[in-house]
Structure 1
């Protein structure tokens, strides 16, 4: 799950100028190079400057990374994706394309063949081999590694070396989502020799990591900064890397990140609070890029706990909350209101017409207090009840909690807002005990596929410890549909089954889907080479980034 952290900041930008972290670079640290990236290109009679080589770019992180090891970069992989690469990757349209595998085949529903690209070297110049590929995959797959992405290998029967350029993966049963795994850090390749020489501190500041990506690891001062340099041995000679160096500054304070963008001490940032996006949009020193996302902000109701086990109670609460008002007053143009399932239009990447038609048919639970009162009157608790909403200090989630608390008050429902730390919210969200009445969280699909939301969130097996079925939702018919579509590779048939499932889920109303936020990227005006896309979390976005002056 990818979570977009949002910080509440009410101060003006000017208040933070004196507290910005010193030492950030706002412009290229060296003159443009003379490589292919800096050549002039003819366009009619006018010479147009191409991308320039050189410079140090400063990127603001809202929190420190967990590890440099790709096996442990599930929730926050922005840095590591520049150092290590997968067999496949997602392009700007969220489509699978070759990477370290120059091509792949799926000769039958349970077999995948990956033809490894020749001439690829690690950043130290040593050749990448099939043995490195298999070692990396088996290490992530091994339960002893306890990789955050190990679950993606749950349906893998065996991984074999066919020859010096081919890897064969055999699945236990057909799996519609396996095709995506090799484009995530689950498919990233590390140097076997380097790992074996640094096994005790691999992925840590003093051990680092050795990959094939466009940049190489230099240093990591935990809580402060990570430094990467251009990989001069990078195999892909088309385009970048153009930058000499990237400095990732860890700056939790949102107002400080905004100040850095304003002064030019920060060149790039992706996550910013909603309440500061309007401030940034008025700044002359930056460029803004937005894209649709697979993200859903939601309220989950514990369907196995009274009175939330009553569908009429859940539907009444859905009708009582004015989601459009929340979007209009808080989220504004940074997102759109949700309906009743976390499958936004951005996820309709195949069979679009069918998904759109289904979306128009499912209930949206738009604000209707009279309908809410009628449903509660017909429920097991016609006079209302007391309950709790679990939420952390995130500004949007807290605003949703307060809005919901006020919205259901006329129904006789008294909700206490239980504010906890982000760490506790995540611990209780993923805990099998499901010790809450309601909770407010967000979810971003790992894959460009509706099943990346439906299966992990509503399959009953995922209500267990470590699972993401936050509503503790259990519907045997939904289970059957989601499991069966996962065994198919025909996206037409899969869509039909998933649409049936989403209609059942929508009727059962285990969630209030409040909104679908957009991804938001800010860069200095002299930075170019990348436009944000829905799969930003899995992409080596810095490869083609460059300074224009």
Structure 2
């Protein structure tokens, strides 16, 4: 799970104030009727481009570190790999799953058959074979690879070629979460012979990659960027890339990014947490979109003893928190008020079931009187909580300040354990670093559009992010049932009940639900507007207006 810790910390380091992009705070916090999507008005896709573009530069917040899907842990890597490589299944902009390199059938509850789509081929013209699929998935599962996605395969018994164009995954027990994982980095297919020849150089600047996407790797020079060009013989003939070349360039300085967007030197970005976004919105040369996000800004509870180990104190702290201030100061309005841990942008299936349950749940509004009463009932008045923070990360400092203010307002004392920006990650990775720390701030998301993708890591007894040894047998049972439930609406109903329980127990405390921000030069259009860009081709319809 190192990939999660790294990318969350990197994301938070950039969150220095995200201006609003057409979503007002009032609309984000008001109650919605059951039939209305909580993400209504957000843009999942942008109109397809209609004109050829010779070349454009797309900014990511730093240089790409790897083009190997097994080691894709952060925004730059995902943006680059999803531009050029394809997974077995594909996440649509609305979060639903569709065929990617393969179609899928379920002969039984413990058998999943993938049929490779006709004509699917790598850039070198070699067809995608079952051997390539088995190799790619086995490589993700193999601990010797040292990749980040092995845990998603924990119910897999075997993966084997079972036909000239088929691969069968046999499961230890039913697993309807696995297709979502196979529509993410864990399901990206690479060419076996090419990867074996490359060895340790695969996916590094010293080597190359071999994928199947509409854009193929031309060059990768650290400090300069990753250059992808439209393939002339892309296997899916329904896709016709309009941009001939895309350069992914690391731009860590927000001032440089802003200048590049305003002058046209940079044509697009999913840049996270840009404090100058309002300036870009006012420019006639830049178009800013706000799409459904899958991320949750939350307070990680890590207390196994003390005040925050008491559910009433967690509930009190949540009630005392001024979330409107966080959304205004940290996100400048570009976030929704939470009702669950899940961001409603992650409702990729069973949408009406999720929408109805979510809209029927209470908004996490501030109520100091009720919070003070809960602290008194818990007998926690005057007790101390310790918050992990970093004064070097503005968003962390701001949100920690909001929590300190909330805690002190309801009779708790607060101690801060402040570390450097570089060491903030240690709260996630080191038991000794977080010893005595009751919690800290994170921006977190699952790898596919299912509320369970994040929730399971937080609340299951063996969850990779269950730092406070949280356990609720009813919640665990609901998630395990959901994982084994084929019917989408029935699965959504189970996950919704689990989210409602988590919203009461608060193993993590949700702070805000960020939206996905996309900016493009006004002369181009067609990029994916939702957070799905992180896991599926986002530039296949990109082009000139």
TM-score band, normalised by shorter chain: 0.7 to 0.9
The corresponding residue for 2:536 is: 539
Deviates more, 1:146-155 or 1:350-359: 350-359
Matched-pair contact (CA < 8 Å) for 1:225–1:248: yes
Kindly tell me: are residues 316 and 5 of structure 1, through their superposed partners in 2, closer, same or farther at Cα, counting changes over 3 Å? closer
Matched, 1:515 2:515: no
* Separation in 2, partners of 1:470, 1:386: 16
Matched-pair contact (CA < 8 Å) for 1:530–1:541: yes
Aligned length: 504
Matched-pair contact (CA < 8 Å) for 2:341–2:509: no
* Separation in 2, partners of 1:137, 1:476: 32
* Separation in 2, partners of 1:68, 1:526: 29
Once the two structures are superposed, the pairs formed by residues 302-341 of structure 1 within 5 Å of their partners are 302-339=302-339, 341=340
Matched, 1:244 2:244: yes
* Separation in 1, partners of 2:421, 2:531: 24
Matched-pair contact (CA < 8 Å) for 1:297–1:516: yes
Matched-pair contact (CA < 8 Å) for 2:214–2:234: yes
Q: Which has the higher contact order (CA 8 A, sep 6+)?
A: 2
Q: How high is the TM-score relative to the length of structure 1?
A: 0.86
Bigger radius of gyration: 1
The corresponding residue for 1:150 is: 150
Matched, 1:428 2:427: yes
Question: How big is the shift at 1:360?
Answer: 4.7
The corresponding residue for 1:476 is: 473
The corresponding residue for 2:14 is: 7
Question: How big is the shift at 1:120?
Answer: 2.8
* Separation in 2, partners of 1:229, 1:489: 39
* Separation in 2, partners of 1:499, 1:322: 25
Matched, 1:366 2:373: no
Q: How high is the TM-score relative to the length of structure 2?
A: 0.86
Matched-pair contact (CA < 8 Å) for 1:287–1:522: yes
Once the two structures are superposed, the pairs formed by residues 142-541 of structure 1 within 5 Å of their partners are 142-273=142-273, 275-339=275-339, 341-360=340-359, 362-391=361-390, 393-431=392-430, 434-435=434-435, 436-462=437-463, 467-541=464-538
* Separation in 2, partners of 1:494, 1:121: 34
Provide Cα deviations, 1:206-237, integer angstroms capped at 9, x if missing partner: 11111111122232222441122222231122
* Separation in 2, partners of 1:303, 1:508: 14
* Separation in 2, partners of 1:354, 1:129: 38
Deviates more, 1:350-359 or 1:323-332: 350-359
Question: How big is the shift at 1:531?
Answer: 3.8
* Separation in 2, partners of 1:96, 1:353: 16
Kindly tell me: are residues 471 and 256 of structure 1, through their superposed partners in 2, closer, same or farther at Cα, counting changes over 3 Å? farther
Deviates more, 1:124-133 or 1:280-289: 124-133
Kindly tell me: are residues 352 and 249 of structure 1, through their superposed partners in 2, closer, same or farther at Cα, counting changes over 3 Å? closer
* Separation in 1, partners of 2:219, 2:502: 47
* Separation in 2, partners of 1:145, 1:420: 32
The corresponding residue for 1:25 is: none
Matched-pair contact (CA < 8 Å) for 2:16–2:330: no
Query: Is the partner of 1:114 in helix, strand or coil?
Result: strand
The answer for unaligned runs of 5 or more in structure 2 is 18-47
Provide Cα deviations, 1:483-528, integer angstroms capped at 9, x if missing partner: 2322222233333332332333222223321111110011111112
Matched-pair contact (CA < 8 Å) for 1:294–1:534: yes
Question: How big is the shift at 1:267?
Answer: 0.6
The corresponding residue for 1:66 is: 65
Kindly tell me: are residues 476 and 66 of structure 1, through their superposed partners in 2, closer, same or farther at Cα, counting changes over 3 Å? farther
Provide Cα deviations, 1:79-107, integer angstroms capped at 9, x if missing partner: 01222211211122222112211x22112
Question: How big is the shift at 1:357?
Answer: 4.4
Matched-pair contact (CA < 8 Å) for 1:86–1:187: yes
Runs of 4+ in 1 over 6 A off after TM superposition: none
Question: How big is the shift at 1:286?
Answer: 0.7
Matched-pair contact (CA < 8 Å) for 1:83–1:210: no
Matched, 1:75 2:82: no
Question: How big is the shift at 1:539?
Answer: 1.6
Query: Is the partner of 1:240 in helix, strand or coil?
Result: coil
* Separation in 1, partners of 2:199, 2:447: 28
Query: Is the partner of 1:119 in helix, strand or coil?
Result: coil
Matched-pair contact (CA < 8 Å) for 2:384–2:415: no
Matched-pair contact (CA < 8 Å) for 1:286–1:525: yes
The answer for unaligned runs of 5 or more in structure 1 is 11-48
Query: Is the partner of 1:331 in helix, strand or coil?
Result: coil
* Separation in 1, partners of 2:150, 2:314: 34
Query: Is the partner of 2:174 in helix, strand or coil?
Result: coil
Kindly tell me: are residues 93 and 500 of structure 1, through their superposed partners in 2, closer, same or farther at Cα, counting changes over 3 Å? closer
Query: Is the partner of 1:308 in helix, strand or coil?
Result: helix
Provide Cα deviations, 1:85-144, integer angstroms capped at 9, x if missing partner: 11211122222112211x221121111111112323321233332222221121112121
